[in-house]
Amino acid sequence: MNLRTAARGFVAFLLSVPALQGNDDWAFTYPSRNICALRGSTVEIRCNYKYPYATIVEKILWFTNKHNEPVDLRDDTDYTGRVEYSCFRHSCTWSSCTGTCKLIIEDLRQSDSAEYKFRITANNGGALSDLPGVKLSVTDHRVEVIILPRPTSQNWLELECHRMCNLTGYRTYSNWYRNEIQQRHQGYSYWFNINSEYRVSCAATGFEHLPSPSVYAPETPLVGWTPPGVIKEGSSVNLTCTSEANPVAKYTWTKVTTGHPPGHSVQGQQLSFHPIQSSHSGQYLCKAENDLGTKTSSPFSIDVKYGPKHTSVIPSPPGEIKEDGSVTLSCSSDAS
């Protein structure tokens, strides 16, 4: 593989910030402390350096924190055929010389995630920066849709396409999709009407084949119960509400009384009765809600079965019973 040819994929170029060694005769300027690059792409890490004029540079190398002793990446079998140094001297004064050395790693792998440092070996003993090096994180390209805080009294939300890996030197717009169909709209944000039925996703330009997961309001919740079958008084019963949504929905239960507004609300995906009583019979509603909207289930009826109770005998007609008269005795009991 010829690393001097144009690098395949994305190349991350880094802005330099001062990172000087304590000795004034030697100085190193490293890139930013943390960088992120995509698996399979190429990264370029730069170090500007200064050394005394009389110094004879014998060797330069880049190494990682993977080994106990500095190992030249060109001799590290993990980087065979994928590493190149591009180093040159800028200028010299009566006291010092300056130069730049770039480390280029091609076809990045996740195992390349490490801390990288630059070293000079010279005739006077050499110089090694004692400062932290450049921490490289290699990852797959991932994006997600984040929901920005809702403006007051508005039915619209602003969605933003967020890259999980902040690629240095790489700026791009986002493509937006509604129900997996690309929209004409491009940009960093998208306005979503609350309770809309469609699903929204995004992808960075150049990475359309790697879209984010879709975000959407809850679908109509479904209610089930365990254990299945007849609900008997005194048993333990759990109602469970489920709704497909992203972000994950929050659930609220209310009992419906005919002719009255919904009663006390209970939070949670499950509504539990331990034990269930005959007074729990009735209709229940489950509401699923996230930042993008709200949906309510159809009424779910509970009919609690129980044995006879409050049994009594009622004579008719009431009052004193006379001999040769007629009387009817009725037996009454509450049961289901």
Residue 205's pLDDT is 76
Model confidence pTM above 0.85: no
- Return the pLDDT at 67: 83
Write phi, then psi, for 324 (nearest 5 degrees): 70, 0
Among residues 71, 107, 64, 103, the alpha carbon closest in space to that of 86 is found at 103
Strand partners, 154: none
Delineate the domains of the chain, giving CATH numbers in brackets: 11-139 (2.60.40.10), 143-204 (no CATH), 222-305 (2.60.40.10)
Q: Kindly report the backbone phi and psi dihedral angles of residue 42, in degrees, each rounded to the nearest multiple of 5, phi listed first.
A: -120, 140
Query: Could you read off the pLDDT of 231-275 as tens digits, one per residue?
Result: 887 788 899 999 999 999 999 999 887 655 556 788 999 998 889
Residues in CB range of 238: below 8 A, 6 or more apart: 225, 226, 270, 271, 272, 273
- Minimal CA–CA distance to 217: which of 293, 274, 116, 129? 293
The two tokens of residue 119 are 């070293």
d(CA 99, CA 101): 7
- Cα 101 from Cα 186, distance rounded (Å): 38
Give the least confident one: 161-170, 263-272, 277-286: 161-170
Lookup result for tokens 């144009």: 6
